[in-house]
Amino acid sequence: MSTPDLVVGIDLGTTNSSIAVVKDGGVTVIPVEGQPSMPSAVGLDPAGRLVIGRAAKNQSVSAPENTLLSIKRLMGTDQTVLLGGKSYRPEEISALILGELKRAAEAHLGRPVTHAVITVPAFFNERQRQATQDAGSLAGLEVLRIINEPTAAALAYGAGSSGNLERETLLVFDLGGGTFDVSLVSVENGVVEVRASHGDTHLGGDDFDLLLAAEGEKRFLEKHPGATLLATTRLRLKAAMELAKIQLSDAPYSAVREEYLTEAGHLDTELARSDYESLIEPLLEKTLDCLQRSLSDAGVTAAQVDKVMLVGGATRTPFIHALLADRLGKEPRHEINPDLIVAMGAAIQGAALAGQPAPAILIDITAHTYSIQAIMTDENKGWGTVLGCVPIVRRGTPLPVRKSESFSTIKDNQKGIDVTVFQGEDILPEGNLEIGKFKFDGLAAVPSGNSVLVEFQIDLNGLLKVTATEKHTGLAKTAVIDTAGHHRLNLDAARTNLAALFDEADSPQPWDKDSDDDGLDFDADSGATTVPLQLVDSKPAAPAGLLAAAKSLRHRAEALLERGVAESDAQDIRARLGEISSAVQSSDWPGLTTQTDQLSDVLFYLED
């Protein structure tokens, strides 16, 4: 058999699948209908036509009897499924999904795609692997190899290609929408091997959504006692909660608003990340039990694990990072998109089989942790109360990134705070580099505990935009710091610049007198070099409720598009949704208000 010159890598997932290829020395994830991954869904539309991917997933709520989801769970069994009155084997349905991915790759690459590497969970038995291989053949693919998903993840992180002959032990923690597994992988002499794997085939982000939906329902019923929630209402609620959950990965709070959840009224509530974490903690404890069992089976202690790698969309939850870092004593790696890493690793294996040199996955990541200075109290860690650096963006986070954390004032009527930004991994300011600071004043005269959100936004050029917002008034101030440029600075010029910029800061302020006690307010000179901090026009925070209203309109518009409207109306709606996204991205609140009003009018007429 001659060596194929192109071998694609396919992650055939329970909920989503993706396809990648090594091209021009790099790994490319091939878009399917404009998206990096495709729902693993197959169905028949109302006209009886076969639909695969997003269209099938979209109709799964309205036509569950004509839609097949999660077929992967049946692979390797004798069970069949019904579609349009005919029965099919799981391999046949999986072949349709693989065929769609193959078509997308052929369209993208402009050439036939005939050879593939497909991934399966480490726990798949021989029958399940054979079924996957057969599905590939049915789709017209010669499956050169079936590899384990954790192996693919390890390959994506460069395992086996560094020429390092030392044995390395990697832990792959994979938490997706519906399944979880954790595997211990060893790499020696370029050979990657799964040594132990445990998991739960019915645990994932969907379970988190269900817990949140139950919480949302409880809150709704507290406000609207006696309201009845239909099954479709619960689905809407779950979808809204999933969005809120995703936002909580980057922000400490998320507003959830669903207009007319039932006839009784709207759902309008705010979720705090801490509430969410308490809800899911029991489920995460289960994942840690599995982790412990994998370690014991592989005969490895936590300290012997060299790298921890995250796979699956749900691992973007910061609480999971924190639990793993705590349990294993090292920060998990999360540079590579956890949804796509398995397909990328499969593509790397494919390239090796095609005789191509091993590519490196190039990603823009932050080289340092960025934090702000605040008083931290953590009796458990034995610190007591210290003036420390609270990380907002951690080292190794892919760029661009936008993350925020909540802080609170510790004195009554505290009018201002100093936002002092540090670069470095140390918990104490002395061990880090201070890269900028600004005063945020004019806070409301309220008792201590006034919440201030601090958001860090870092773009691909390393420009860090820091915005502090008083939560209950929306008062905001923004500054921009060039994190990339400070090493190249003329320090004297920088100091002069700085002095000019912070003239105001040097004059005594009312809160300076006892600044040591103010929650976020630290003036102490760390002795570190500070680069100029450019104060820019602060953009006001979005008016209360505007973002939630825009989000809810977007849901209504998407639901309407799914139900079907005249093409000209559909185009109009899509154009308006585009305008709304641009307005949100550029914080153009007046523009957003106009756009949401107009879309609301359009929907009003079309929904009737």
By CB under 6 A, tell whether 352 contacts ligand AMP: no
CB of 179 to ligand AMP, least distance (A): 8
Among 131, 314, 475, 520, binds ligand AMP (CB under 6 A): 314
Tokens of 517: 């006690």
Nearer to ligand AMP, 198 or 334 (CB): 334
Nearer to ligand AMP, 199 or 312 (CB): 312
Cis peptide before 400 (omega within 30 of 0): yes
CB of 483 to ligand AMP, least distance (A): 23
Tell me the residue number closest to ligand AMP, measured at CB: 205
Q: Torsion-angle region of residue 6: left (phi > 0), alpha (psi -120 to 50) or beta?
A: beta
- Burial class from Cβ neighbours inside 10 Å (0-12, 13-18, 19+) for residue 536 reads exposed
Nearer to ligand AMP, 16 or 371 (CB): 16
Tokens of 231: 């099954």
Among 76, 90, 177, 416, binds ligand AMP (CB under 6 A): 177
CB of 248 to ligand AMP, least distance (A): 7
Q: Read off the amino acid at residue 300.
A: V
Among 206, 270, 579, 588, binds ligand AMP (CB under 6 A): 206
By CB under 6 A, tell whether 242 contacts ligand AMP: yes
Nearer to ligand AMP, 180 or 440 (CB): 180
Q: What are the CA-CA distances from residue 323 to residues 110, 182, 363, 562 (Å)?
A: 45, 14, 25, 39
Q: How far apart are CA 379 and CA 517, in angstroms?
A: 18
Find where tokens 């954390």 sit.
Answer: 405
By CB under 6 A, tell whether 313 contacts ligand AMP: yes
Angle between helices 567-585 and 546-563 (to 10 degrees): 160
Q: Tell me the β-bridge partners of 456.
A: 403, 466
The catalytic residues are 11, 72, 149, 174
Report which DSSP code applies to 225. Answer: T
CB of 318 to ligand AMP, least distance (A): 9
By CB under 6 A, tell whether 251 contacts ligand AMP: no
Q: Tell me the β-bridge partners of 372.
A: 390, 421
CB of 245 to ligand AMP, least distance (A): 6
By CB under 6 A, tell whether 277 contacts ligand AMP: no
Phi/psi of residue 434, nearest 5 degrees: -80, 125
- Burial class from Cβ neighbours inside 10 Å (0-12, 13-18, 19+) for residue 2 reads exposed
**Interface region with ligand AMP, contact rule CB under 6 A, candidates 267-275, 311-319, 346-354, 408-416:** 311-319
Nearer to ligand AMP, 339 or 518 (CB): 339
By CB under 6 A, tell whether 205 contacts ligand AMP: yes
CB of 40 to ligand AMP, least distance (A): 9
Nearer to ligand AMP, 322 or 524 (CB): 322
Among 339, 418, 434, 521, binds ligand AMP (CB under 6 A): 339
Residues with Cβ within 8 Å of residue 285, at least 6 apart in sequence: none
Q: How far apart are the two ends of the chain, measured CA to CA in Å?
A: 62
Q: How far apart are CA 139 and CA 92, in angstroms?
A: 9
**Interface region with ligand AMP, contact rule CB under 6 A, candidates 287-295, 310-318, 382-390, 490-498:** 310-318
By CB under 6 A, tell whether 11 contacts ligand AMP: no
By CB under 6 A, tell whether 249 contacts ligand AMP: yes
CB of 208 to ligand AMP, least distance (A): 7
By CB under 6 A, tell whether 436 contacts ligand AMP: no
By CB under 6 A, tell whether 254 contacts ligand AMP: no
CB 425 within 8 Å of CB 331 = no
By CB under 6 A, tell whether 10 contacts ligand AMP: no
Report which DSSP code applies to 206. Answer: H
Give the helix/strand (H/E) hosting 245.
Answer: helix 231-248
**Interface region with ligand AMP, contact rule CB under 6 A, candidates 53-61, 78-86, 240-248, 540-548:** 240-248
Q: Name residues contacting ligand AMP, limited to 185-204 (CB under 6 A).
A: 204
CB 152 within 8 Å of CB 342 = yes
CB of 403 to ligand AMP, least distance (A): 11
Maximum CA pair distance of the chain?
A: 81
CA 373 to chain centre: 26
What does the radius of gyration of the chain's CA atoms come to, in whole angstroms?
A: 26
Q: Could you tell me how many residues of this chain bind ligand AMP (CB under 6 A)?
A: 17
Tokens of 491: 């320090």
Among 39, 121, 176, 416, binds ligand AMP (CB under 6 A): 176
Nearest to 524 by CA among 406, 429, 596, 442: 429
SS3 track for 110-158: CCCCCEEEEEECCCCCHHHHHHHHHHHHHCCCEEEEEEEHHHHHHHHCC
By CB under 6 A, tell whether 404 contacts ligand AMP: no
| Residues that bind ligand AMP in the complex, under the rule CB under 6 A | 15-16, 176-177, 204-206, 242, 245-246, 249, 312-314, 316-317, 339
